Every structure is written in C-alpha cells, then in structure tokens.
Structure 1
Amino acid sequence: MTETDPHLIYRGRFAPSPTGRLHFGSLVAALGSWLLARHHGGEWLIRVEDLDPPREIPGAAQAQLATLAAFGLMSDLPLLWQSQRHDRYSEALSRLLADGAAFECRCSRTDLAAVGGIHRACVAHGPARPPAIRLRVADDSRVAFVDGLQGRIEQAVDREVGDVVLRRADGFWAYQLAVVVDDADQGITDVVRGADLLDSTPRQILLQRALGLPTPRYLHLPLIVDAEGQKLSKSMAALPIDDHAPLPALRAAWTALGQPAAALADAPSVAGALASAQRHFRPEALPKVRHATFAAAHNKPVAGAV
C-alpha cells in the first residue's frame, strides 16, 4: 500500500450525493472535514457524487451547494462533478480488467442470497443477463488501517464483503470505484466522513492497491442519529437545515463535534462563527461515540450519547 506523502499539503473534501436537501448530519460531516482542513492549514474541496440518476432529485445538487454557501463552506478549488468523469472511470476499469484484477459477473442478489450476498464465485445461470464488473478479492484479504479517530480497524474483505462491485449490471458506476479514482485525481490526502462509510474503507484500500494509487489518511466522525438511534438520513427527522437562519444549526453542529459551545455563543454572523471556530477548534475533543440526537418535532438537534 502506498501511503499518502506526509509532506504534501493537507487536502480534504466533502462529497454529498444529490438525493435531497442537506440535513443536520450532513452539516456535521461537512463542518468537521472543513475544520480539520483549516486546522492543518490545508485545502477543502467539494465533490458532487451525481452518479446514481435513479436516486437523484432534480435541483438537489444546486440546493446542497446553496446550503453549504449559506454556512460559509465553499470549495477552495473548482467543483468536481462525477457525472462528467465517465472516461476516467472507464480507464481505471479497463486497467483492472486487463490485469485480471476485475471480472464480469452475472450473479443477481437472488443468486447470492444463500451466502448472505457475499460473492466468492459466480453461480448465475443466466448468460443473457447484463454483467456487472467486480474486483477480484483474494482469499485471506485482511485489510487493516488506523483511523484518525476510531483507531485500528481491521476487516476480512473476502469473508465479510466478497468481490466488490465496480460497475453495476444496469451500467451505472459503483461508488467504490468512483471515489477511489476521484480521491487520487484530486490529490486528497485526508478523507473525513461519517462512520457509516467506515466499512467501505478496507475495500477502497484494496482497490487503491490494485490501481497503484496512494491511500489517504482516514477519519470517520460519529453519526448523527434520531431519538430512536436511527441514522438521520434514513429518518423522518432528517428535515433540511435552514439556509436563511444558519447560525443555530452551525452552533449545534459545532457542539456535536465535541467543541465548546461558548466559543460560538456570541458570534454575530456565520463568518464570525467560522473564524471563532478555527481559533478554538481542538481535534482531540472530537467524540468517538458521542453524537447528537435530533428532535424531529422541533426540527432541532439536542445533545445525546450512545
């Protein structure tokens, strides 16, 4: 595995999918990644992950960008839109196929149901079905890395995940391939995102190795959940945050990241709040398991803990 050169300038990113308006959990992830980039004197980029048309909502991407701008969170470099990068993904996939690191697969979810959906050998008997393309995961493919917040993470990718889909049978690119190619092309040194993607990291590291790409440093922030402990993006509590009155949500996101409420209490504006946040931010205070629950009835976050 090629590690990120420690002498490179820190470069982080936030990469929303345009499936709806940004909610409080998205804001916490965006603010956390932005704060860590600023703390290290680095750059912060925005990438629009618009590669899944069946799930995308028209106008959602522009609404998300407007929300980020309302909170003072704007990309230091031009935006990257995944929908404009099909040639790069095709190039990477062609390399993997030529090297024998990827293969065509016509197995459906039904075909793999008996093995829990984990693909280790093709069992499909329908040659007319359009093929997906999978990464060939060797036996005993155990990947370990040290997360910047969660500590050492280890996963047996062959047994827990299986052969990873790179291009779906419907022709759409899989998230794992796109994110690995984009992080390398954008020179991302540090990936800061929600802990719901923690399990994806080992398979991305395997793919980086197969493509000869550097592996960024990773830090996974705790999830924001509703009062029933459900991930906010899957909850009825996932109401959009208010672009026209951003300070309350910004202050709440700041405290959800384990930072002192007093630091932003008197800030008169978003710009003032972000300036104060940069001065007072302490990465060592980021919570590993603490989170903020979200009170749907009042459309506001409240402190909580797991």
Structure 2
Amino acid sequence: MGVVNVTPDSFSDGGQWFDRELAVKHGLDLVAQGADLVDVGGESTRPGAARVDEAEELRRVVPVVRELAAAGVLVSVDTMRASVAEQAVDAGAVLVNDVSGGQADPAMVPVVAAAGVPFVVMHWRGQSIDMNNRAVYADVLGEVLDELRTGLDRAVAGGIAPERVVLDPGLGFAKDADHDLALLAHLSRLEALGRPLLVAASRKRFLGRVLARDAHAAPPPARERDAATAAVTAIAAREGAWAVRVHEVRASADAVRVAHAIEAAAGGADAGAR
C-alpha cells in the first residue's frame, strides 16, 4: 500500500503532494514501483496535529481518488469522516482505511457497511492532538489485542461483514517506541484475531529512535528511515501480514519478494526432507 498524502503538514512528506496533479502523478509512480494499492489521505494524523475541516478534506481527497481510479489504480481512502469515505467510494475507492476504526465518526460503520467495501480498523485511543498522553499500558500486547477485538466486534455489529475487516495495530498512535517494537515482535499474536493485518511502520518515530546513535542523539529525519522501513516490511511479510503501508514503495516491494522467496525455499526444503 503506497501512501499519497494530499496535505501540507504530514510528518514525512508534508506539502510534497499537496497539488492535485502532483498527487495523481505520485500515485501512478507508486504503482509503477510496485504498489498494489494507493492510500489517499487529506488529513495529517501526526502527533499533535489539529483536524482539518470536512470541506477541505473533501476538496483535497475526492478529485485525486477519482483520477487515480479512472486510471485503473486500486485506491483506498484514509479518512476518519463518513462523508469523505462515502464520496471517495463513489469516486472509485475500493477500501476505507480509518485510523479511528469507526470511533471518530459514528456514521462511518453504517456508511462502509452500505458500500460493501473492506474496512481497516486500527487500534486508536483518541485524536492526534493528545494521543501521546494516552500511551500508557500495563500490557501493551494484551491491551491492543483486546481493543482491536472490540473494534472488530463494533464493525461487525454495525453491519460490516467480518471477512471485509482488516486490522491494524496502530504503530505510533498512542504508543512509544518500546510499545511499537513489542507489537512488531508479536505479530503472530495479533493474527490470532483471525483477520488480515495491515502494518504501517513507514518512517515512524520509533524507527528514528532505533536508528539514533544513542538515547540522547537526534533521530534521523523521516525521509532517511526508508531502509529501516523496508526491514520492517520484510519481517511483516515473513509473519504473514496482509499488507504494509509505506511511503517509498520500491524497497519494500523488493523486501516482500525476498521474504516470499525465502518462504518458498523453506517449503521446498521441508517437502524434500519428508
């Protein structure tokens, strides 16, 4: 899943694709680099970000979705608003990726259920403006599992078919670096929920912290974390994740190919041993 941020203020590439024509071109470039799905969003969810108003989000997102879909691209829409999801689906989006899992807008689940499209339910504890204050866990894996299960049940109770739900552990959302790493270390436990997993680690803060020389050093800027992102992609692929959401596609697409080749070789070796 390649990312197209039609925003002036996203943490990794704010403003770079804010122009509609540039955003569409970038989406097409991501497909050429190996993206299977292009995720279009018009609202930054970086820590501390304030919300954009509905009219502006619609203005940013819907034309880009329409043009990419018309070009044959499989498009998802990254939004917490039911109105944006509904109009994006009408414009050709085939999946709704809601970082709030339907909690930010009570109309979201009914809209997605009526549209009959897949829905990404992410682990979420509140809006970006104060989510860092919510990164408090006694048992991060157990609590994220329980809260994702609740999100899945909420979506299904609202009419979304269970087989259309994808789960996302919400790396970086109300989590610190240790929380993110613990979740990545136990992806198999998250898969026990029985739904496909989306892993969205691309360029996030925890990778910057891992790459910093020591605890007091400044982390590298977001755009210098793509190699680290590809490392997470390889791990996620080996663990059976349904998709990874990334800003730089080529390296992650290559990582998926390598992971699958190793998996195939392991299967062949096991068959030979038998």
TM-score normalized by the length of structure 2: 0.33
Higher relative contact order (CA 8 A, sep 6+): 1
TM-score normalized by the length of structure 1: 0.30
Higher strand share: 1
Q: Name which one, 1 or 2, has greater alpha-carbon Rg.
A: 1
Higher helix share: 2
